Amino acid sequence: MRIAVVFDTPTVDWSPERHAAQMVTDIANQKNVEPEMEYQVAYALQKNGHDVLLLGVHDDLRAVSTRLAQWKPDLVFNAIEAFLHNAELDYLIPALLESEGYHYTGAPPLALMVTRNKAMSKKIIAYHGINVPWFRSFRIGERPTKDLAPPFPLIVKPLQADASEGISQASIVRGLDALVDRVAFVHERFSQAAIAEQYIEGRELYATVIGNGDKVEILPIVEMVFDAAALRPEDRIATQQAKWNLRYRERNGIRNVFARPMSKASKEQLATTCLTACRALWLRDYARVDVRLAPDGEIWFIEANVNPFLSYGHDSAESAYKAGMSYEAFVQRIVDEAMARRP
């Protein structure tokens, strides 16, 4: 097939041919430097026999529209994470694709907007009877008041950020004064609303799902584990440092591994949570559902990532490998799922 891989890029004037040349260079040097995700996806598609166009998006949607009209892809692989350096605008590209009649992988604009808003997605999930931590959102300029009686400790986050942006050890607050300060910090630092939610002590689990409708498959679960000697229980949260800073991870004994055993009841509750999230939040083709497993065995929904990171060696690709799929087969599976729902 003809598959256009569309992705956001900081480069303004790079043509698809320039990106293709860079992909070849980076793939050849991947033992030393990890290639960009879109290059890994495109290379896997090429190895699967597809004709691939690497189409970077910087600030001009008209250029994207023009190039797609000229190339006429059978499918667009949506690898967009932001537009104009703003992750909150990631829904614009699938909206453009839908308006111009292109079939594409992954979530529709509605799912992107709803899951981006942590409070909105939690309300929807709670409506369907799934465990959700107590939470309260605070618009810019809004302060927590004395009549608020939350179940401290809380974790305070930017309402619409992803990849753990804005989450650090200081995000855990244990009293009203600290809550007021952290909410104000989020407002000032990120220029967006803040969400404060009950901190759930327990295990951090990531469930990658693939498929649509009644045929959603939950891939082997990944768990972020922490060296008990390095961090207190309440410090074991997926901060930005814990996810992306290799030296910090090594220093604190933080690793992403396949999940340790859990009870049958917890497994069933986790499956129910994932399948409910897929249907209620309009997830499509593939996604990742992040949960906490409390010491009593209860599963708590934290958030859904509709277009999770797909690079080789990271959580979703590792889960697929554990399930018996090579990286190329995993990328092809996403393509197959998208094509299977094509009218």
The CATH number given to whatever domain includes residue 253 is 3.30.470.20
| Residues in Cβ contact with 15 at an 8 Å cutoff, skipping those fewer than 6 apart | none
Same domain, 160 and 47: no
Tokens of 305: 């990532």
Length of the chain: 343
Rounded distance between C-alpha atoms, residue 118 and residue 161, angstroms:
9
Rounded distance between C-alpha atoms, residue 67 and residue 185, angstroms:
42
Evaluate whether 57 touches 10 at the Cβ level (below 8 Å): no
Last residue of a domain, one of 145, 169, 198: 198
Rounded distance between C-alpha atoms, residue 303 and residue 36, angstroms:
25
CATH of the domain at 185: 3.30.1490
pLDDT tens string 244-263: 888 888 888 889 999 999 99
Evaluate whether 281 touches 132 at the Cβ level (below 8 Å): no
Residue 119 lies in a domain: no
Of 26, 94, 17, 83, whose CA–CA distance to 55 is shortest?
17
Which residues of the chain are modeled with pLDDT < 70?
228-234
Same domain, 6 and 91: yes
Q: Is 159 helix (H, G, I), strand (E, B) or coil?
A: coil
Count how many domains the chain has.
3
pLDDT of residue 241: 86
Residue 144 lies in a domain: yes
Last residue of a domain, one of 104, 121, 156: 104
Same domain, 209 and 336: yes
pLDDT of residue 65: 97
Residue 41 lies in a domain: yes
Same domain, 330 and 208: yes
Parallel/antiparallel/unpaired status of strands 154-158 and 135-138: unpaired
Same domain, 333 and 213: yes
Same domain, 193 and 206: no
Paired residues of 222 in beta bridges: 206, 258
Give the range of the structural domain holding residue 50, as residue numbers without chain letter: 2-104
What angle is formed at CA 334 by the lines to CA 206 and CA 51, rounded to 5 degrees? 140
Residue 111 lies in a domain: no
Rounded distance between C-alpha atoms, residue 54 and residue 317, angstroms:
21
pLDDT of residue 277: 98
pLDDT of residue 228: 66
Same domain, 206 and 334: yes
Evaluate whether 95 touches 104 at the Cβ level (below 8 Å): no
Residue 126 lies in a domain: no
Rounded distance between C-alpha atoms, residue 199 and residue 17, angstroms:
48
Last residue of a domain, one of 165, 198, 231: 198
Rounded distance between C-alpha atoms, residue 87 and residue 174, angstroms:
30
pLDDT tens string 7-43: 999 988 899 999 999 999 999 999 999 999 999 999 9
**Residue 288: exposure state from Cβ atoms within 10 A (0-12, 13-18, ≥19):** buried
Same domain, 206 and 336: yes
Residue 129 lies in a domain: no
Same domain, 329 and 282: yes
Same domain, 93 and 21: yes
Kindly report the pTM of this predicted structure.
Answer: 0.95
Q: Is 52 helix (H, G, I), strand (E, B) or coil?
A: strand
Same domain, 212 and 158: no
Same domain, 87 and 170: no
Rounded distance between C-alpha atoms, residue 115 and residue 307, angstroms:
10
Residue 328 lies in a domain: yes
- Residue type at 157? K
Residue 287 lies in a domain: yes
